[in-house]
Amino acid sequence: MNVTGVYLKSIGIHLPPITSIASAVRSGLYPAAEAEVHELTGVAVADGTPAPEMALAAARQAFERVGHPPRDIGLLLYASSWHQGPDGWQPQYLLQRALVGGDVLAVEVRQGCNGMFAALELAAGYLNGDGRSVHALLVAADNFGTPLIDRWRMGPGYVAGDGASALLLTTEPSFARLLAVGSGAVPEAEQMHRGAEPLFPPGPTLARPLDFAARNSEYKRQAIADGTGTAALIRIHQQTLTVVERTLAEAGLDIGDVARVAYMNYSREIVEQRCMAALGLAMSRSTWEFGRTVGHLGASDQVVSLNHLLERGELKPGDVMLLLGVGPGVTVSCAVVEIAEPVPWHG
């Protein structure tokens, strides 16, 4: 989707303390062989801090950085991947009560690791079509430190990290432009994140742990048996290239215009093979060196990486950044952001 007249006004993040992979290996939490192969170095661990409190901290930072009044918001979108609090309760209303007030449309976006991309697409359409709303707040937060997940073995090639991110969008010119955002799906690979697990009763109601590695292995066994596995994996690769090419074209750009790429905070081989090499770009343009230090932060990977580059002055006016993610579905999502001027909170 081509986006006109939507800007990033501010970014906020909350990252809890980092636990080193080396210490996790010494404690027997993470296999030494995987540490050597995947080259990850750390993971953010929130302990008992609830995800909505981290989301609130990230949102507050976004507002404080630019002096924006929280109640001057027309839309609040909250992206989440894991349980946020009591069943039957929705986390966006904590932020609504604490920050933005009751006259704001507040919605939780359950799109897994691609939740922030879905929120960007929804918010861009809302801001362009509402006619009244000038600002929107997008947040993402997760704490994976619960009994039903082993963050160290959650999936192949990554460790689950805790944290939160926030984007303040505006229709007023600001330091970065959202040029385009879009998604595509590979529904024939839907079972990749489900495996052979029954749909009912839902796993959490039976205290069944979430294990993407086991589900993925089960899917591959079945896919090999019926011959569908290779085709689905090829289709995911093709869809990744299609979504990137289409989104860049909608922004009036091509891959050669991209200065940096933020992908999932996965192992080196996954980032290189599935993203950078596939796009024909060097690993030096990726954010892997940073991502390996904090873990896979649910829907926050790309925004936290964007913030990191801005904090370090590694993006300058005129630079284009590509944000790219893959989530259950299987969905592939992409956003193109152009830096227009130095970030105001570093002025």
Note whether 115 and 122 are within 8 A (CB).
no
pLDDT at position 168 over 80? yes
Q: Which of 130-139, 185-194, 263-272 has the largest mean confidence?
A: 263-272
What band does 343 get if pLDDT is binned at 50, 70 and 90? Answer: very high
Q: Let me know if domain 179-340 sits in CATH 3.30.360.10.
A: no
What is the average pLDDT across 297-303?
98
pLDDT at position 5 over 90? yes
Query: In sequence order, what DSSP letters do the residues of 193-260 get, joined into one string?
Result: GTTT--SSS-GGGGTPPB-HHHHHHHHHHHHHHHT-HHHHHHHHHHHHHHHHHHHHHHTT--GGG--E
What band does 216 get if pLDDT is binned at 50, 70 and 90? Answer: confident
**Which of 3.40.50.1100, 3.40.50.150, 3.40.47.10, 3.30.565.10 is the CATH number of 7-174?**
3.40.47.10
* pLDDT value for 129: 82
What band does 190 get if pLDDT is binned at 50, 70 and 90? Answer: confident
Weakest-pLDDT range from 62-66, 188-192, 332-336: 188-192
Q: pTM for the full model?
A: 0.95
Same fold flag, 7-174 and 179-340: yes
* Token pair recorded at residue 117: 């991309």
H/E segment holding residue 324: strand 320-327
Tens digit of each residue's pLDDT (9 = 90 or more) over 316-331: 999 999 999 999 989 9
pLDDT at position 79 over 80? yes
Note whether 208 and 148 are within 8 A (CB).
yes
Tens digit of each residue's pLDDT (9 = 90 or more) over 12-63: 999 999 999 999 999 999 999 999 999 999 999 999 999 999 999 999 999 9
Q: How far are the Cα atoms of 1, 122, 150, 248, 307 from residue 251, in angstroms, in the given order?
A: 9, 17, 40, 5, 21
DSSP 275: I
pLDDT at position 233 over 90? no
Domain limits, the chain: 7-174, 179-340
Tens digit of each residue's pLDDT (9 = 90 or more) over 192-207: 888 888 899 988 888 8
CA-closest candidate to residue 299, choices 174, 138, 149: 138
Tens digit of each residue's pLDDT (9 = 90 or more) over 131-147: 777 999 999 999 999 99
CA-closest candidate to residue 308, choices 286, 281, 340, 283: 286
What is the average pLDDT across 86-105?
94
Question: Which one has a higher pLDDT value, 286 or 194?
Answer: 286
Q: 10 — phi, psi (to 5°)?
A: -160, 160
* pLDDT value for 253: 97
* pLDDT value for 347: 63
Note whether 136 and 116 are within 8 A (CB).
no
Note whether 43 and 22 are within 8 A (CB).
no
Rounded to 5°, angle at Cα 60 from 58 and 65: 100
Average confidence score pLDDT of the chain: 93
What band does 240 get if pLDDT is binned at 50, 70 and 90? Answer: very high
Task: Respond yes or no on whether the N-terminal peptide bond of residue 209 is cis (omega within 30° of 0).
Answer: no
CA-closest candidate to residue 305, choices 328, 287, 327: 287
